[in-house]
Structure 1
Amino acid sequence: MKKQVILSISGLHFGELAGDGEAIEVITPAEYYFRRDKHYILFEEFAPGTKEAIHSKLKLSPDKIEIIKGGHYNTRIVFERERMNMSHYNTPYGDLMIGTMTKQLSLQVEEEEIEAKVLYSLEINDEWAADCNVNIHVKNA
């Protein structure tokens, strides 16, 4: 895998927050590196309605996927198979306590691309909010 990559994150949320299903997709240039048996992808997102860059990092391993965001959205979301993980999700509108119960997690690593999939239930402030899936695709730029 080269250092310069293209990251695609797509997902679908079903539940009270999303109604019949809300699709989300982000495609962005990113930087890749591998260290201590983990794949790291560094990228920038932009906060909705602003020009503020959010420095984000994905840490991928066969047993765990982490999404780490900086700036106003300072948070760390962890997905581990068959495990509930709680985290604070900072937003410009206030802090939320979110929980992710990971039902399925897969990671496939090839020479020139990485594919990860996560199925999970999302809780916000201790109440079920949605069932979600996230697909992460990384390929050489």
Structure 2
Amino acid sequence: MTKEVLIHLKGMQTTDETHGPDEPLELITTGEYYYRNDTHYLLYDEQMEGLDEPVHNMVKIRPGHMEVRKKGPVQTNMVFEEEKQNLTCYQTPYGPIQMEITTTGVNFGEEEELLEVKTEYVLGMNGQKVADCRMHIRVTPKGSKGTTFFES
């Protein structure tokens, strides 16, 4: 995998079973890729709606484990470990949000020019379930062909 990559992210939350899943959130951006000490690293900036400054993201991936760190106007360190619950504080310009993340699966695959991770988790706040969530990240070398996806 090259240092300069195209990062495709898709997040889906289901908050109410009677209405089905909410609309997916999708982001396609360029970023940097590193591999060190058996861990894959992704670095990219994200412009969030309503914020003047970008949020700097670092994603650490290894089998059964993913970690997302955000720095800037939004700050958090979310840890996704299979069959574990982790607590995190999501710091926003409007105040902190305490969250519980109970990860049900981290499926990881890699090929020479493809890195893919699918994470499923339950998001909770104040001891109450808020949503069932899925996050799908696919990384390809910048400029490679066939970089669209999200069939599932």
TM-score by length of 2: 0.88
Per-residue CA deviations over 1:43-98 (Å, capped at 9, x if unaligned) read: 00012123311111000000210000001211100100000011100011110111
- Displacement of 1:126 in angstroms is 2.3
Q: How many residues align?
A: 139
Q: What does the per-residue CA deviation read over 1:105-141, in whole Å, with 9 as the maximum and x for residues that have no partner? A: 1110111010100111000232210001110000000
Q: Does 1:130 align with 2:107?
A: no
1:15 counterpart residue number: 15
User: Matches of 1:50 and 1:122 in 2, distance apart?
Assistant: 24
**Is the 1:41–1:58 Cα contact (8 Å) retained in structure 2?**
yes
Q: 1:110 — aligned with what?
A: 111
Q: Structure 1 regions of 5+ residues with no counterpart? A: none
CA distance in 2 between partners of 1:44 and 1:9 (Å): 12
CA distance in 1, matches of 2:51, 2:122: 29
SS in 1 for 2:73: helix
User: In the alignment, which residue of structure 1 is the partner of 2:68?
Assistant: 67
Runs of 4+ in 1 over 6 A off after TM superposition: none
TM-score by structure 1 length? Answer: 0.94
Match of 1:3 in 2: 3
Distance in 1, matches of 2:118 and 2:48, equals 24
Structure 2, unpaired ranges of 5+: 143-152
Give the Cα separation in 2 of the matches to 1:57 and 1:137: 15
Deviations 1:19-63 (A, max 9, x none): 632311111000000001000000000121233111110000002
For 2:123, the aligned partner's letter is L
What RMSD, in angstroms, separates the aligned Cα atoms of the two structures?
Answer: 1.1
